[in-house]
Amino acid sequence: MSTLKVSIIGASGYSGGELLRILLQHPQVHVHQVTSNRYAGLSVTQAHPNLRSITSLKFTKIEHLESCDFLFTSLPNGESMHQMSAWMQLAEKIIDLGADFRLNSQELWEKWYGTKHSAPHNMAQFTYGVPELFREQIQKSQYVSGPGCEAIVSILSLFPFVKQAIIQKDQIIIDAKMGSSQAGNRPSPASHHPERAGVTRSYKPTGHRHTAEIEQALGSFCPGTRVDVSATAIEMVRGILVTIHTSLENPIEDREIWNALRKEYSQEPFIRIVKEKRGLYRFPEPKILQGTNHCEIGFEKDGRNDRLVIIGAIDNLVKGTAGNATQCMNLMCGFPETQGLEFPGLHPV
């Protein structure tokens, strides 16, 4: 099979840089262009010093983008929709890492993002990029929208229990704690070191935008699923830990919960079920997932009532963004699904 000619729009950010790191090691990929208006003409190592001696690529401006086989767009929310129709003329297949095409209706987008969508005619062309749920659709798609990082770990953690009607679907509470890289590399008062260091800050107690895509994805298997997302910033650079509070439909034993997870995920290469009886890492923990495309899922049942706590962890820049996008690219192009994503993580970190 010939090498895939790939370009990345917005490659100077954290997600774009992580995608570049992964694709440079992918045996089926040749990275053709990487764009950044801010760094145009400079070596990619100016933004990503970890790639020193790995590549001699330089950033180009978006307007100098050339045709390619596969295009990734990694821009802030609300930007890719303005030029997507033009980019569709340059590349046969596209994955958008932003939020612009995650939702399936203009009305839903405008409700949750508070701005007008400029390309609603393109929305229906994008498949929502969670391979574990929508593998067959992704394989057949030209265009895929990468999920939000809080969304994908929450969706994967909840999916077996929603699909198999183990938990009550009308009230699911997701407490998401996330590292600073989730906000991107554009500085703001919230990312200023004196304000960010040592922080445990509730910055979105209700109404988080990823609520919409979680409900949309899970609703395709169980209509009417309702979730509330509470987001908290913690002193960690990369990683997300979600603690999901649910109520069981009926009394259930631990082995039945295990069986539900195994039924959906026993063949999934990037899902790890983690529930140990002893040790420091009895439950999922994002620290040991840094750099990996794995999602770890665990649970604890409260013996006093009908409460089931589901715990999920990922690296927000890999399974939450760039690694998951590479997994989708592999599916779209007929490559082995795990290709380029074999890194198992480090310990200690």
Q: Nearest-CA neighbor of 134 among 122, 152, 107?
A: 152
**pLDDT tens track of the chain, all 349 residues?**
579 999 999 999 999 999 999 999 999 999 999 999 999 999 999 999 999 999 999 999 999 999 999 999 999 999 999 999 999 999 999 999 999 999 999 999 999 999 999 999 999 999 999 999 999 999 999 999 999 999 999 999 999 999 999 999 988 999 999 877 766 667 777 676 777 777 787 888 888 999 999 999 999 999 999 999 998 888 778 999 999 999 999 999 999 999 999 999 999 999 999 999 999 999 999 999 999 999 999 999 998 889 999 999 999 999 999 999 999 999 999 999 999 999 999 999 8
Domains with residue ranges and CATH for the chain: 4-146+320-333 (3.40.50.720), 150-318 (3.30.360.10)
Sign of CA pseudo-dihedral 44, 50, 56, 57: negative
149 is catalytic: yes
With beta carbons less than 8 A apart as the criterion, state whether 176 and 158 touch. Answer: no
Q: What pLDDT score was predicted for residue 178? A: 85
CA–CA dist 203, 32 (Å, integer): 39
Q: What pLDDT score was predicted for residue 236? A: 79
Close Cβ partners of 249 (under 8 Å, ≥ 6 residues apart) = 165, 166, 167, 168
With beta carbons less than 8 A apart as the criterion, state whether 230 and 176 touch. Answer: yes
What's the token pair of residue 195?
A: 């304000």
With beta carbons less than 8 A apart as the criterion, state whether 151 and 77 touch. Answer: no
With beta carbons less than 8 A apart as the criterion, state whether 289 and 239 touch. Answer: yes
- β-sheet bridge partners, residue 145: 96, 128
Q: Nearest-CA neighbor of 121 among 79, 82, 70?
A: 82
Residue 47 CB neighbour total at 10 angstroms: 21
Which stretches of the chain are assigned E, i.e. beta strand?
Answer: 4-9, 29-35, 59-60, 68-73, 91-96, 126-128, 143-145, 172-178, 200-204, 227-234, 240-247, 271-273, 295-301, 307-314
Q: What pLDDT score was predicted for residue 113? A: 95
Q: What pLDDT score was predicted for residue 303? A: 81
Q: Rounded to 5 degrees, what are φ and ψ at 33?
A: -140, 150
End-to-end CA distance of the chain: 37
Question: Of 149, 222, 295, 328, which is the active-site residue?
Answer: 149
CA–CA dist 312, 154 (Å, integer): 7
Q: What pLDDT score was predicted for residue 1? A: 54
Close Cβ partners of 148 (under 8 Å, ≥ 6 residues apart) = 99, 102, 209, 210, 213, 320
Sign of CA pseudo-dihedral 107, 109, 115, 118: negative
With beta carbons less than 8 A apart as the criterion, state whether 36 and 5 touch. Answer: no
Amino acid at 141: S
With beta carbons less than 8 A apart as the criterion, state whether 81 and 122 touch. Answer: yes
With beta carbons less than 8 A apart as the criterion, state whether 161 and 216 touch. Answer: no
Q: What pLDDT score was predicted for residue 188? A: 72
Task: Estimate the crossing angle of helix 131-139 against helix 149-163, to 10 degrees.
Answer: 100
Q: What pLDDT score was predicted for residue 182? A: 64
